[in-house]
A and B are shown apart, each in its own frame.
Chain A
Amino acid sequence: MGLAGDATDGEVVQAVLGGEVERYAVLVHRYRDRYARYAARMLGSLDAGEDAVQDALVRAFDRLADCREPDKFAGWLFLILRNRCYAERRRQQREGRPLDERDDAVAAADRPDGTFEQTERIRALERSLVHLTPEQREVFVLKHIEGLAYDEIAGRTGATVASLKMRMHRAYDRLRDLMKEHL
């Protein structure tokens, strides 16, 4: 077994299941930021995204024995986080709370080389993403923010490539409508 920093996910999972609880910190450190962008975009705010990541990491520990393929911990954690994001969104809808539309809801930093117009467009897109359905928002985030191909997204979410494309194409149309003043 490797050192804490270079041990595989599978090795760390087995160690934690064997009673070495502190080894879980390796996985926390490894994945805390990887899905932060996805969670923040899905929930419309950095704070909500951070809460979701924290909750997903704790839930993953609680259910670690259910992780059938420890070497694929990352994908398994993503599914827990994804479920958490959808559940949170449903809860917000039940309570009649819209996603956060503030300009700074998700860190949309000014690009040093960007024009004012470009910065406004970035912020407009952030606000517009909030108005997509969760399914449309997810596929947009995974493809255009996380940079995944359709087949990779299908592998992560369980949806077919055809249905993902349909969602995405509807998202394009919706975004065009929402962003018409900025394009």
Chain B
Amino acid sequence: MSLGYHPLVKQLLDGELSLAELPPELRAEGAEALRLIDAVDRAPVVLSPALDDRVMALVRRHAASRTRRAWHWLTAPRDVELRLRLRPVVWAGALAVAAGVALLLLARAPGTTPAPAPVARSGARDSVFVRFVLYAPGARHVAVAGTFNQWDLNAAPLARAGTSGVWTTTLALPVGQHQYAFVVDGERWVADPAAPAIDDGFGRRNSMVAVTSRGAHTL
């Protein structure tokens, strides 16, 4: 069984009392306790002379690798993920604003307004998609030639739309006025019955279409 020091002896060891201040009956215990403290070795501990060099070698290595890491961080490409945390009410507002902006752009963007026949679709900023349609049930081949393709008979063939005798194609036409005609079976020029036509000066009639930033219009 271990026997602890008396609290007053512990105060002696703490330096708060002297041996003479202890009650006489505790002085022997106090003297024994002081022998314990007297056994403390306070001699300085001297480390290896090489310690400085070892530490500095590691420090230099860490500093160099820190520089490399910093350079790598600055120069290496990396994927960046952006996350937005919005409350639902904010989302609803943002979506409403986005929808409004989209509608505004649709109304103003070139070629994005639906145009009357024979046109329809939006296209690039300086061109508009125009749909050409011809009813020619007995035809074997139909093409459209005009000022937009230098009257090339083979540049813009129409496709048969089922078995109804309707032929159709959609071309991207630049903004401006264009004259055109359908070429049936490679030899017969046919004006567009759905569009106005003018005399070409050679005894034939050319159909006319005006392509603007707001769409295509028959003239």
Contact = CB atoms under 8 A, between A and B. Distances in A.
A126 interface: yes
Interface stretch (B48-56, B106-114, B126-134, B151-159): B48-56
Nearest to A53: B47
Most buried by A among B3, B4, B7, B55: B55
Contacts of B33: 172, 176
B36 A176 contact: yes
Contacts, number: 115
A33 B48 CA distance: 10
Given A36-B47, A107-B45, A62 B39 contact: no
A58 B59 contact: yes
Given A33-B47, A36-B45, A40-B45, A21 B40 contact: no
Contacts of B7: 169
Given A61-B59, A144-B37, A37 B45 contact: yes
A179 interface: yes
B62 A50 contact: no
Contact of A58 (B9, B43, B55): B55
Please report whether the interface of chain B is mostly helix, strand, loop or mixed according to DSSP: helix
B39 A33 contact: no
A21 B52 contact: no
B35 A24 contact: no
A57 interface: yes
Contacts of A145: 40-42
Contact of A32 (B47, B59, B62, B63): B47
Contacts of A118: 38-39
Main secondary structure of the interface of A (DSSP, over half): helix
A171 B45 CA distance: 23
A183 B36 contact: yes
A169 B215 CA distance: 96
B87 interface: no
Nearest to A38: B45
A161 to B, nearest CB: 11
Contacts of A126: 41
Interface string B1-41: 01111010110011000000000000000001101111111
Contact of A172 (B4, B38, B45, B56): B4
A169 B58 CA distance: 41
A165 B14 contact: yes
Given A32-B52, A118-B39, A173-B4, A46 B45 contact: yes
B41 A21 contact: no
Given A32-B52, A50-B51, A54-B54, A172 B5 contact: yes
A49 B45 CA distance: 10
A75 B42 CA distance: 21
A135 interface: no
B36 A125 contact: yes
Contact of A108 (B14, B38, B41, B44): B41
Contact of B56 (A28, A33, A174): A28
Interface in B130-150: none
Interface of A: 21-22, 24-25, 28-29, 32-33, 36-37, 40, 46, 49-50, 53-54, 57-58, 61-62, 106-109, 118, 121-122, 124-126, 143-145, 147, 150, 165, 168-169, 172-177, 179, 182-183
Given A22-B56, A168-B10, 16 more contacts: A24-B56, A28-B56, A37-B44, A50-B47, A54-B55, A106-B41, A121-B35, A122-B41, A145-B40, A145-B41, A173-B4, A174-B2, A176-B2, A176-B5, A176-B32, A177-B2
